[in-house]
Amino acid sequence: MTRLGEIVEASTTKLRAVAPQTFEGPAFGSFIKTSDGSRTTFGVVAHVEHVSIDPSRRAIPLGRTWDELRREQPQILELLTTEFEAFCVAFAESDGALCAYLPPVPPRVHDFVEPCTTEEIVELTQDLSFIRTLGASGVLIVAELVAAAIRSAAAHHGDQRAYLVRAGREVADLFRQDYELASSIIRRIRVPERAHR
């Protein structure tokens, strides 16, 4: 089991976790899961930050490279932590049936967060319902979040280009009342054309 973090706050819409190693949080837009033994909750990483362990004391500039800091102040990493937030997008009960909507109860505090497998990501993102859930999350950077999640999902589908085209159509339909938002997301998921030399 690859542990990405341990949950310190949770609701039916999102969770916050602390990574086991400083500077080793999951990627923005990646798919994660957490299980309490009877229910598995799936989410998309929406925010990652490196912060001081003591919220009342911010890190200050020290004028050293990381090599110098490790040599001169090896305790420095003990004063910092990496935390991340993920929005819940689906859950599965113990029978394994995937429900592509918010869980009825939050994940438990102190449960571990793991990366989703390729198979789980494909099943979770096949119907594209996660786009609607993320689009309704209310985050200020919703275009970045939706686009990052689509790119992350596409990397696990066999025909990435076909998946991105289908996701682009879904975005255009879901956000048809907000042309700028839809265009912003579609620009961010476009597959760059390979240069022919």
Ranges of each domain in the chain: 5-189
Classify the C-alpha dihedral 110-116-117-121 as positive or negative. positive
User: Strands 31-35, 14-18: parallel, antiparallel or unpaired by DSSP?
Assistant: unpaired
CB neighbour class for 95 (10 Å; exposed up to 12, middle 13-18, buried from 19) = exposed
* Greater pLDDT, 194 or 83: 83
Span 44-83, pLDDT tens digits = 999 999 999 988 888 888 888 989 988 888 888 888 999 9
pTM to 2 decimals? 0.90
* Per-residue model confidence (pLDDT) at position 196: 39
